[in-house]
Structure 1
Amino acid sequence: MNTKFLDLLAQRYDSEEKVVTEIINLEAILNLPKGTEHFVSDLHGEYQAFQHVLRNGSGKVKEKINDLFAETLSKEEIDEFATLVYYPEEKLQLIKNGFNNEHELNEWYTEIIEHMIKLISYASSKYTRSKLRKALPKQFVYIIEELLYKTEDFTNKKPYYKKIVQQIISLGQADKLIIGLSYTTQRLVVDHLHVVGDIYDRGPDPDKIMDTLINYHSLDIQWGNHDVLWLGAFAGSKVCLANIIRICARYNNLDIIEDAYGINLRPLLNLAEKYYEDNPAFRPKRQSDEKLSDYEQLQITRMHQAISMIQFKLESPIIKRRPYFNMSERLLLDKVNYQNKEIDINGKTYQLENSCFATVNPDQPDQLLEEEEEVIERLLFSVQHSEKLARHMKFLMKKGSLYLKYNGNLLIHGCMPLDEDGNMEKMIIEDETYSGRELLDVFERNLRYAFANPDVTDDLATDMVWYLWTGQCSSLFGKREMTTFERYFIKEKETHKERKNPYYYLREKEETCRTILKEFDLDPDQGHIINGHTPVKEIDGENPIKANGKLVVIDGGFSKAYQSTTGIAGYTLLYNSYGMQLVAHKHFNSKEEVLRDGTDVLSVKRLVDEELERKKVLETNIGEELYQEVAILNSLMEYRYMK
């Protein structure tokens, strides 16, 4: 090993005792049970529902409360206690309003603090004291540790412990302590969070989800197609930018663009009001509780048309300059008969409805008007100079990847592109052929290059980011075509169909999943593939656990737009030292309902895989890192202290 490196390390471990202590500590940690991993996907801006799942650990918090207090507390008391842990600030106020006098309240404080301490002790049982200390509220670390490590074997210190709690209450610190202990419990119940794609689009609050993730203690992100669209826009792709604005207009979420990220949409509105009128195909989709005035709806409808036409125009030059994208059939503006309002697709002629081609030059349909060019340039400038968006996109790049190998499992948002025979689908890029894991690595390299060079907007890397959104070999899209144009303008639904990659029926076979796991150098006997992206239609009997448990799909419909077809409000996955459990969630109405009624939104837990022997840290990714640290420290011992 490099002696200069060991000399530097010796400055940190400047005595034999320090090296020995650290080796003993790391070796001991390796034999602890592995922490609980929490998998979520396809959040689609649904901040409140995501917050609830995060706070209750997909049922893990209540499970631990039940383990401890099932014999001593009623169901109603357990529900109330669990809700207090989920939403401590709000629930405290509701509970305190129900007491008649200070004495009753103080008695409740004493009891609930004792319950909280027991819960913390139980939830932290597989962690080191050092790790627990880092999770505790800083202002109460000393006090909580005293209460945590008290023993009932001796009575000498009982008055001491009692006085600690009394002083906390009398000094008005009980609320702060309970709030701190609640958040510590949430943190201890889940050791690591995996977000398997699609934080953005459709729902109203992706920015709030991003703020939550930035402050989360341990996580990774596997980019979804919608996330890559936002990354592409920030990286300088005008067509990605047009897509995100179009989707926000379609789902009545332009507030995300304008209010959350401070991007000025006035230039787009001015263009839209000049060229477009009302159009039923472009009216925003709304939830039943959303209110819009006729004027607001008309504004959004016009902007929706304006940005859609800009998008369709921007797609054409990319398709033409990248023939190996194999997307020439998507040059639909070239196929339109503008005089008769007809289009030829696959040898068949269709009538166009709800058309809005006022800015299209029939002789050069992909040519942007000077006004359109100016609008998209101004929008791009605003996007790339939004401080909040920059912070979110940089975090998404830092914590994100197209796929992740973690603790023997493959996490990938969409799919592994396959051909009909189950072989890795090949794609030619600049005369080089790629497939399988290598193809995904090429996609990610291009995305990272585009993000690092936002001033270059028409290079291969930037075009490849858009391809990830809509290309047939994209692991994020997983279809042969995206029929956005047809859905707007053609009545016949046969043109709306988007042919899925063979992966989506071949993944039902165990052998397919085993082949993919081997492609990523994972053990096919032990590993699993974890997908999001495609909502599982549980209402139709679809099973999210596929291929004899080798693959789990956890997109069950966080997005309200999907819930009528899925029948549920999302899946999450838990993986602790005992095995994997899939959790299905009922529709989340509101935080207020949970606070009022103590009801939870969990429905069914299903066993995916049960460990024959309890998994330890030494069998995880973290374990590999700790092994390396131990090896380095042993080298330091030999180099410095065992000569």
Structure 2
Amino acid sequence: MDKQAMVEQGWRELAAEGRENRAETLEACVELLAQGALLVDTELFMSDIHGEYNAFSHVLRGGSGAVRVLVEKALAEGDRAEGEPLDGDTLRSLILYPREKWAALAADEGAAAAARYLPAMVTVARLAAARYPLYRVRALLPEGFGILEEVVCAQATEENYWYRWEIVEEYGKLGAGADLACALGTLIQHLVVNRLHLVGDVFDRGPAPDLIMEEVMAFPSVDVQWGNHDILWMGAAAGQPGSVANVVRICARYGNLSILEDAYGINLRPLAAFAAQAYAEDPCVAFGLKDRTGLTDAEAELTVKIQKAMVLIQFKVEAALIAANPGFGLDDRNLLHRIDRERGTVVVDGVEYELTDTVFPTVDWDDPYALTPGEQAVIDHLCAAFQRSEKLQRHVRFLLDHGSLYREDEGILALHACVPLNADGTLMEVELFGETYRGKSLYDKVDRCVREAFDAEGEARRQGLDMLWYLWLGPGSPLFAKSKMATFELYLIADKVARKEEKNAFYRLLDDEDALDGIFQDFGMNPCTSRIVCGHVPVKVKDGEDPVKAGGRVICIDGGWSAAYQKTTGLAGFTLVSCAQGLFLDANEPLASREAAVAGADIVAERREILGCRRPQALSDTNKIESQDARIAALRELLEGCA
């Protein structure tokens, strides 16, 4: 019988059905009371992964160094493997990459050499499982490997050692040693991290956002706070033209069109054919690629033309969106009609600038924002192709089901970018579809709109779709947090003054106690004990910037996972670790490659203590156990009723 159902239905209803429930009620009450003695779960906060799958996967699988610690402890306790002592790097790699490492060991030294590590893997699993009740370990056992409960959870004694070891050996005798290694490795990975908080931006820049999504979806416990790049891809998956145009443009700019074609099956041939013809004689001087790694000269040349084609399509479809949503206040982003063709200049904010490129073969200067028939066909095809991508739809549905614009738990307000503020630190009012919102009400409104883009109909869906695009570039967007999206200026104006995007006052006021108090109060949180965890803006650690603001009340965790940002940050990503020992910020070093990791390379982070505990914290020390008080009281009442 479901114990929660007992509480919800009540003793009298159950008794009326003639059921004997005292033992079950007593068990449920004891279980809840005892849970307070369990240690606090280990949770990881990671943001701005931007397609950098290898490093992300390595840190997640290793629990940001937790597996390394357990391996050292297991080897220090000794093992019963015959022959040479076991190598710690090999054991750790076998836990993190069991299938690949087993194959490499078996190829180099034979399956018996790989099998020597299985008892040590069992020891690491036992150490990882020791802090949990049996039911939680049992829930994490891989399907088909329930028998591992005997080797991982049963008390180890001389009397039962050979039985447990026989279980391990029999897998090898049956030719399933690699399967056992995979089961043990997966179990350990899921034991060292209880929950992953992904604070936005899986997509863009790096090469493998799809692999990140697959790994995240396979993780037992995860939540996502949407980032601006995630929202952009979600909009594209919904067929929103402005979002589609931006996604394709960015993939082209970073030489990552293969993400669309190979990972998500989006056919780009109509776009490539159009770009090659429309811009055949165009040198596209202002549209060089940020990264052309792996591209031939011919591929790079075509990608440049594709990028320019998408830039002009983007300007045009965005002009239609701006006209349809005057309340967004984005008229100043329409700049094509401000170009002086004879002078080769454009006027932005009252200042005339020289253009870096003056060749626009698809622009009708009598109606500059009108799509040509070819451009219309391209954007129609792309919108349909994004909507037909089964894999992308599956990934976006996961983001919807496991994600939100923000998350508040245990005094941590996790959000990707910012809470928009005025210059004086007060909450900034933002008009959306005729209504005004700020702070938490703004977040809640936007969250509803995002969901309506996928699940509503009619006007609510249209507004939701347009909101997905607005969140990418709107000054009032809590995911953008800048004065303007200077895409036009970035490509077509060399002067950095024109390109400058002023950050919202939130980023200037991260050490302002009054501004932070106002945010926490608006979200219904205790200003004295609450923290904001956010990403979005890379922390320039190499220039001395501190990711920890206001004495730890704000922690900025964008540390540059993607290689595109590592020159800015000077490191390769942050991982915020919350565990029984406290709160820690890990500054990660780069990972050369997945192949290097399988061979034994590791990411060794520099750990900084944000909040230390004199003793390991139990659930009874947190608010989480308080949420069980009502259930315990109800169960006690039930016990009295069935005495």
If the length of structure 1 is used for normalisation, what is the TM-score?
A: 0.91
Distance 1:263 1:32 in 2: 48
Residue number in structure 1 paired with 2:139? 134
SS in 2 for 1:193: strand
Contact 2:226 2:403 (C-alpha < 8 Å) held by counterparts? yes
Distance (Å, rounded) in 2 between the aligned partners of 1:22 and 1:79: 43
Q: Which moved more, 1:73-82 or 1:356-365?
A: 73-82
- Residues of 2 paired with 1:622 and 1:369: CA distance? 58
Q: Which of 275, 278, 284 pairs up with 1:275?
A: 278
CA contact (8 A) 2:285 2:356 kept: no
Q: Which moved further from structure 2: 31-40 or 627-636?
A: 627-636
Contact 1:450 1:456 in 2 (8 A): no
Secondary structure of 2:104's counterpart equals helix
Matches within 5 A, 1:236-635: 236-276=239-279, 277-286=282-291, 290-453=293-456, 459-596=462-599, 598-611=600-613, 614-618=616-620, 623=625, 626-634=628-636
2-side partners of 1:583 and 1:210: how far apart? 22
Please report how far the alpha carbon of residue 600 of structure 1 lies from its aligned counterpart in structure 2 after TM superposition: 1.3
Shift of the alpha carbon at 1:3?
10
2:232 maps to 229
Q: Deviations over 1:565-606 (max 9, x none)?
A: 21111111110022111111111111222233x231223000
| One-letter amino acid matched to 2:63 | G
Q: 2:47 aligns to what?
A: 41
Q: Using the TM superposition, name which of 219-228 and 121-130 deviates more.
A: 121-130
Identical pairs, percent: 37
The residue that corresponds to 1:202 in the other structure is 205
Which has the larger displacement, 511-520 or 449-458? 449-458
On the 8 A contact 2:415/2:532 being kept in 1, the answer is yes
Shift of 1:205: 1.1
Query: What SS is found at the alignment partner of 1:595?
Result: helix
Q: How many residues align?
A: 631
- Distance in 2 separating the partners of 1:134 and 1:46: 30
| Alignment check: 8 A CA contact 1:231 1:451 kept | no
- Contact kept? 1:197, 1:221, Cα under 8 Å: yes
**8 Å contact kept, 2:125–2:152:** no
2:97 paired with 1:95: no
CA shift, 1:396, in A, is 0.8
Q: How far apart in 2 are the matches of 1:482 and 1:4?
A: 51
Q: Tell me how far apart the structure 2 counterparts of residues 222 and 307 of structure 1 sit (CA, whole Å).
A: 28
Distance 1:626 1:113, change over 3 A: farther
Checking the alignment, whether the CA contact within 8 Å between 2:453 and 2:465 is kept in structure 1 is yes
- Choose from 90, 95, 101 the match for 1:80: 90
Q: In 1, distance between residues paired with 2:61 and 2:69? A: 13
Moved more, 603-612 or 397-406: 603-612
Deviates more, 1:459-468 or 1:305-314: 459-468
CA deviation map 1:222-250 (0-9, x unaligned): 00000001111223321011000100111
Which segment is superposed worse, 511-520 or 615-624?
Answer: 615-624
Partner of 2:187: 184
Residues of 2 paired with 1:395 and 1:621: CA distance? 28
Counterparts in 2 of 1:159 and 1:534: CA distance versus 1, 3 Å: closer
Q: How far, CA to CA, are the matches of 1:9 and 1:331 in structure 2?
A: 66
Are residues 123 and 4 of structure 1, via their aligned partners in 2, closer, same or farther at CA, if it must alter by over 3 Å? Answer: closer
CA contact (8 A) 1:117 1:148 kept: no
1:114 corresponds in structure 2 to 119
Task: Answer whether contact 1:236 1:457 (CA < 8 A) is retained.
Answer: no
CA apart distance, 1:136: 2.2
Paired residues of 2:38 and 2:132 also in contact (CA < 8 A): yes
Given residue 37 of structure 1, which amino acid in structure 2 is its aligned partner?
A: E
**Distance (Å, rounded) in 1 between the aligned partners of 2:317 and 2:143:** 52
Aligned equivalent of 2:130, options 125, 129, 136: 125
| Unaligned 5+ runs, structure 1 | none
Alpha-carbon distance between aligned partners in 1 of 2:33 and 2:167, rounded to the nearest angstrom: 36
* RMSD (Å) for aligned C-alpha atoms: 2.8
Residue pair 1:278, 1:298 contacting (<8 A) in 2 also: no
Give me the whole-angstrom Cα distance separating, in 2, the residues matched to 1:533 and 1:527: 20
Structure 1 residues 619 and 397: CA distance shift in structure 2, 3 A:
farther
Query: Structure 2: which 5+ runs fail to align?
Result: none
2:32 alignment counterpart:
26
How big is each residue's C-alpha offset from its partner over 1:49-90, in whole Å with a ceiling of 9 and x where there is no partner?
A: 211111111111112223444475999932222222111222
Cα 1:320–1:186 change in 2 (3 A) is: same
- 1:589-626 per-residue CA deviation (whole Å, 9 max, x = no partner) reads 11222233x23122300001123564333565754654
Residues of 2 paired with 1:12 and 1:233: CA distance? 56
Per-residue deviation, 1:163: 3.9
Summarize the Cα distance change of 1:306–1:185 in structure 2 as closer, same or farther, 3 Å threshold.
same
Question: Does structure 1 conserve the Cα–Cα contact (< 8 Å) formed by 2:571 and 2:588?
Answer: yes
Preserved contact between residue 537 and residue 567 of structure 1 (Cα < 8 Å): yes
Q: CA deviation at 1:544?
A: 1.0
The residue type equivalent to 1:425 in the other structure is M
* Higher mean C-alpha displacement, 535-544 vs 621-630: 621-630
Deviation by residue 1:189-233 (Cα, 9 ceiling, x = unmatched): 000000000011111111111111111100000000000011112
Q: Does the residue aligned with 1:278 lie in a helix, a strand or coil?
A: coil
Tell me which moved more, 265-274 or 435-444: 265-274
Distance 1:498 1:120 in 2: 50
Deviation of the 1:146 alpha carbon? 4.5
CA contact 2:225–2:415 (8 Å) conserved in 1: yes
Relative distance call for 1:343 and 1:126 in structure 2 (3 A) is: same
